[in-house]
Copies of this chain bind each other. A is one copy, B any other.
Amino acid sequence: METVSQNKAYGGTQGVYRHASTSTGTDMTFSVYVPPHEPGVTMPVVWYLSGLTCTHANVTDKGEYRRVCAELGLIFVAPDTSPRGEGVADDPDGAYDFGLGAGFYVDATQAPFAQHYKMWSYVTDELPALVAAQFPADMTRQSIMGHSMGGHGALTIGLALADRFKAVSAFAPIVAPGQVPWGQKALGGYLGDDKAAWRKHDAVALIEDGARVEALLVDQGGADQFLEKELRPDLLRAACEKAGIALTLNMREGYDHSYYFISTFMDDHLRWHAARLA
């Protein structure tokens, strides 16, 4: 693991790191904030998965998480959203919603994407092992959150690995990719036409098929341009009600899909996570 940069912030260290990933067969860059701490202690880990077009840098620059992570003693990890580099297949038309910056947190099975797009393995297996080895992380206390496509990632990974994550939350998540254009394009492109394979990467379908967590927290901007076509929090609400999952769905009037929205409610989410990581 190579250190790209380290900067002191709120008494801790905001780092950016790069490593050669065996999952994706590419170099991968990620950021980790380690709050101020006494030598020798380990701290809980909050995973943050980013949305379409993002790298680790968007939330690192604009997420406003460091103050609260420093106060609460949380390590904050932000992976990239796809493999990148020479030879990595992209959307044939260069669209923003598939390929580079749009890995959708699945292990692709379809050519030419299957070669590098192994974001599920990367985020759930390879990167946690690296974080455990390199940072003062208490891997028995992990939680996961994300935004938009990364909210989809947080919900699906949190539901699939419910024993690992003590808290799962999302900002404006894609809750049912199998039912919306972004998700249908991505799951079709990465996983092919077999819709049974899609259900493992669809939060609403996972809940319908029996996946359970005790509680979920979702914040959704009421002025989000993607709300009705791509995000559909109503579908998550219905699934959670039927399954008995305690969903807190906060509709935030006037807020859009941007980091101005995320940063406003980051504090609430981190405190909700910290209470469950204690």
Contact = CB atoms under 8 A, between A and B. Distances in A.
A229 to B, nearest CB: 20
Report the copy number of this chain in the oligomer: 2
Interface stretch (A5-13, A19-27, A205-213): A5-13
Nearest to A58: B61
B66 A9 contact: no
On chain A, which size bracket covers the interface? 20 to 34
A248 interface: no
B64 A223 contact: no
Contact of A264 (B9, B62, B221): B9
Interface stretch (A104-112, A190-198, A235-243, A250-258): A250-258
Interface residue SS majority, chain A: mixed
Given A14-B260, A260-B14, A8 B62 contact: no
A254 B10 CA distance: 11
A258 B64 contact: no
A263 interface: yes
A60 to B, nearest CB: 9
Interface of A: 7-11, 14, 61-62, 64, 66-67, 221, 223, 254-256, 258-261, 263-264, 267
Identify which of A61, A255, A260, A261 gathers the most chain B CB atoms within 10 Å of its CB: A260
A117 B263 CA distance: 35
Given A9-B260, A260-B7, A264-B9, A64 B64 contact: yes
Contacts of A67: 64, 267
B61 A9 contact: no
Contacts of A11: 264
A8 B263 contact: no
- Counting from the closest, the 5 A-B pairs by CB-CB distance are A9-B260, A7-B260, A8-B254, A8-B255, A10-B264
